[in-house]
Amino acid sequence: MKPITKYTKSGEFNIAYQIIGKGPIDILYIPGWVSNIDMMWTEPRLAAFLTRLTLFSRLILFDKRGTGLSDRSDEYSTMEERMDDIKAVMNVANSEKAVLFSHSEGGSVCLLFSKTYPERTISVIGFGIFAKRRYSEDYPWAPTDAERELSNKMIEDNWAHGDMDGLRTLVPSLAHDNGFMDWFASYLRSGASPGAALNLQKQCTHIDITGILNSIKVPTLLLFRKGDEEIKVEEGRYLADRIPNCKLVEFSGKDHLFWTGDTFPVLDEIQLFVTGSRSTKKVHYESTLDTKNSITKIESVMLDKFLYNLKVEEFASLSNKSLSTFKREFLKIFNTTPSRWLKSKRLEFAKKLLLEADLNINQICFESGFINISHFVQSFKSKYKLSPHQFKNKKLNG
CATH code at position 323: 1.10.10.60
Cβ-count burial of 323 within 10 angstroms (0-12 exposed, 13-18 middle, 19+ buried)? middle
Examine residue 1 and state whether it is found in any structural domain, yes or no: no
pLDDT at site 109: 96
**Per residue in 305-351, pLDDT tens?**
888 777 888 888 888 888 899 999 999 999 999 999 999 999 998 89
- Alpha-carbon span 119 to 217, nearest angstrom: 11
- In this structure, the answer to whether residues 301 and 357 fall within a common structural domain is yes
- In this structure, the answer to whether residues 128 and 249 fall within a common structural domain is yes
Examine residue 242 and state whether it is found in any structural domain, yes or no: yes
Domain with 304, as residue range(s), is 281-396
pLDDT at site 99: 98
**What is the band of 13 on the pLDDT scale with cuts at 50, 70, 90?**
very high
**Which of the two residues, 25 and 74, has the higher pLDDT score?**
25
- In this structure, the answer to whether residues 167 and 39 fall within a common structural domain is yes
Residue range 84-112: mean pLDDT, rounded: 97
pLDDT at site 293: 39
Closest by alpha carbon to 100, among 67, 75, 127, 66?
A: 127
- In this structure, the answer to whether residues 51 and 194 fall within a common structural domain is yes
pLDDT at site 178: 84
pLDDT at site 313: 85
- In this structure, the answer to whether residues 268 and 188 fall within a common structural domain is yes
Least confident span in 135-139, 236-240, 287-291:
287-291
Residue 237 pLDDT > 90: yes
- In this structure, the answer to whether residues 59 and 132 fall within a common structural domain is yes
Examine residue 185 and state whether it is found in any structural domain, yes or no: yes
- In this structure, the answer to whether residues 270 and 302 fall within a common structural domain is no
- In this structure, the answer to whether residues 299 and 164 fall within a common structural domain is no
Residue 283 pLDDT > 70: no
What count of other Cβ atoms lies within 10 Å of the Cβ of residue 383? 14
Residue 18 pLDDT > 50: yes
What count of other Cβ atoms lies within 10 Å of the Cβ of residue 75? 9
- In this structure, the answer to whether residues 127 and 193 fall within a common structural domain is yes
- In this structure, the answer to whether residues 318 and 176 fall within a common structural domain is no
CATH of the domain at 166: 3.40.50.1820
Looking at the 3D structure of the chain, how many domains does it have?
Answer: 2
pLDDT at site 284: 45
Examine residue 48 and state whether it is found in any structural domain, yes or no: yes
Domain boundary among 260, 275, 290: 275
pLDDT at site 176: 85
**What is the band of 165 on the pLDDT scale with cuts at 50, 70, 90?**
low
**What is the band of 396 on the pLDDT scale with cuts at 50, 70, 90?**
low
- Alpha-carbon span 306 to 325, nearest angstrom: 19
329 with 390: CB under 8 angstroms?
no
**What is the band of 154 on the pLDDT scale with cuts at 50, 70, 90?**
confident
pLDDT-above-70 percentage for the chain? 93
Examine residue 249 and state whether it is found in any structural domain, yes or no: yes
Average pLDDT, the chain: 88
- In this structure, the answer to whether residues 323 and 357 fall within a common structural domain is yes
**Which of the two residues, 283 and 47, has the higher pLDDT score?**
47
Examine residue 356 and state whether it is found in any structural domain, yes or no: yes
Residue 68 pLDDT > 50: yes
Residue 200 pLDDT > 60: yes
Domain boundary among 236, 259, 275: 275
pLDDT at site 316: 87
Residue 288 pLDDT > 50: no
Segment of 88-97, 138-147, 202-211 carrying the highest mean pLDDT:
88-97
Examine residue 176 and state whether it is found in any structural domain, yes or no: yes
Residue 333 is which amino acid? Answer: I
Residue range 290-312: mean pLDDT, rounded: 72
Residue 79 pLDDT > 50: yes
Residue 66 pLDDT > 80: yes
Domain boundary among 243, 275, 307: 275
What's this model's pTM, rounded to 2 decimal places?
0.77
- In this structure, the answer to whether residues 235 and 291 fall within a common structural domain is no
Residue range 168-182: mean pLDDT, rounded: 87
Examine residue 305 and state whether it is found in any structural domain, yes or no: yes
**What is the band of 277 on the pLDDT scale with cuts at 50, 70, 90?**
confident
